[in-house]
């Protein structure tokens, strides 16, 4: 089952012809999650044929406009299209007030419930889990409280070994126990070893989102071994001082984090509009960490 990230906006601050500001649509084993919601997000979703009503969770990193100015517009469209199922929004405490005030000012009464979970970028926390996935938040280092997010699959069940099961005529009734690693006792009184009838589980996949932040080594335990890390790379090395002053990262610094956390793949984004292209970002990151990609709007990245 799919686990994939579609980049809806990969630019910083100013939208350009090539890049909208930050938003991503994540599909994780049937769960639909939006991360950040800059202006233009709903247009990009429509353009890509992504059904907005299937979004169940919206994770907002922080309250700089290039990360959430599209949110009330999106909520309003959900309402106009007749949404009745609830929506959960995670983000800085103030965001709840902002949404309410904007809706109230227009005399809008939503036909669906919004559950708001305040997150203020000060500690690592599990914020959602169900049978298949977990969502964690962790603090980033930016000018205002900022949340990073980690979406991961739960440990998966073992695969059955059909040949071994058939050979020993193990009844189907025991398959679920075997998949969970239990050694069941058969009707005959015989206890069987699950290892004989199963194969290793597929690895649980994970995705981490880090925007906006200055280089922060404290993130490494949280990011350790993730399959895909999205990390902001607002600046090139040439503007390292600017990165420091504005609490952003360079592409090279993002690569240093990816390397230290031993992630499988690094996706760079949140590029400053001052650069005509990102060739230097890529080169500087590659000098540190080989498995790196430049995020492009409307592209989907499989995990």
Catalytic residues: 66
Q: Judged by CB, which is closer to Zn ion: 170, or 243? A: 243
User: Shortest distance, CB of residue 25 to Zn ion, whole angstroms?
Assistant: 20
User: Shortest distance, CB of residue 240 to Zn ion, whole angstroms?
Assistant: 18
Quick one: which of 19, 44, 57, 64 contacts Zn ion (CB under 5 A)? 64
CB-based closest residue to Zn ion: 64
For residue 190 the two structure tokens come to 């015989």
Q: Judged by CB, which is closer to Zn ion: 64, or 265? A: 64
User: Shortest distance, CB of residue 36 to Zn ion, whole angstroms?
Assistant: 10
User: Shortest distance, CB of residue 62 to Zn ion, whole angstroms?
Assistant: 6
CB atoms within 10 A of CB 88: 18
Contact 289, 283 (CB under 8 A): no
Decide if residue 212 touches Zn ion (CB under 5 A). yes
Number of residues engaging Zn ion in binding (CB under 5 A):
2
Q: Judged by CB, which is closer to Zn ion: 140, or 178? A: 140
Decide if residue 248 touches Zn ion (CB under 5 A). no
What would the x/- binding string for Zn ion be over residues 153 to 192, using CB under 5 A? ----------------------------------------
Q: HSE (CB half, 13 Å, CA atoms) of 177?
A: 14
Q: Judged by CB, which is closer to Zn ion: 64, or 252? A: 64
List interacting residues with Zn ion (CB under 5 A): 64, 212
């Amino acid at each position: 089952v799919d686990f994939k990230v579609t980049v809806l906006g990969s630019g910083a601050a100013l939208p350009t012809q090539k890049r909208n500001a930050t938003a991503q649509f994540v599909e994780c084993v049937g769960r639909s999650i939006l991360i950040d919601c800059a202006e233009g997000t709903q247009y990009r979703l429509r353009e890509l044929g992504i059904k907005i009503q299937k979004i169940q969770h919206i994770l907002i990193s922080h309250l700089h406009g290039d990360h959430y100015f599209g949110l009330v517009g999106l909520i309003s469209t959900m309402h106009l299209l007749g949404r009745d199922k609830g929506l959960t929004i995670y983000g800085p405490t103030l965001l709840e007030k902002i949404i309410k005030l904007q809706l109230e000012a227009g005399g809008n009464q939503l036909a669906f419930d919004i559950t708001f979970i305040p997150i203020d970028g000060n500690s690592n926390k599990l914020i959602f889990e169900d049978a298949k996935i977990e969502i964690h938040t962790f603090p980033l280092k930016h000018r205002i409280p900022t949340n990073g997010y980690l979406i991961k699959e739960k440990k998966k069940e073992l695969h059955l070994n059909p040949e071994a099961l058939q050979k020993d005529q193990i009844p189907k009734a025991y398959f679920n126990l075997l998949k969970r690693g239990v050694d069941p006792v058969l009707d005959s009184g015989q206890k069987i070893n699950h290892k004989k009838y199963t194969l290793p589980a597929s690895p649980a996949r994970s995705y981490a989102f880090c925007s906006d932040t200055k280089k922060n080594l404290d993130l490494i335990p949280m990011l350790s071994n993730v399959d895909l890390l999205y990390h902001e790379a607002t600046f090139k090395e040439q503007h390292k001082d600017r990165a420091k002053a504005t609490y952003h990262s360079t592409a090279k610094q993002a690569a240093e984090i990816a390397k230290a956390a031993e992630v499988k793949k690094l996706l760079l984004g949140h590029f400053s509009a001052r650069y005509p292209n990102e060739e230097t970002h890529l080169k500087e990151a590659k000098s540190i960490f080989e498995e790196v990609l430049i995020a492009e709007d409307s592209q989907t990245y499989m995990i």
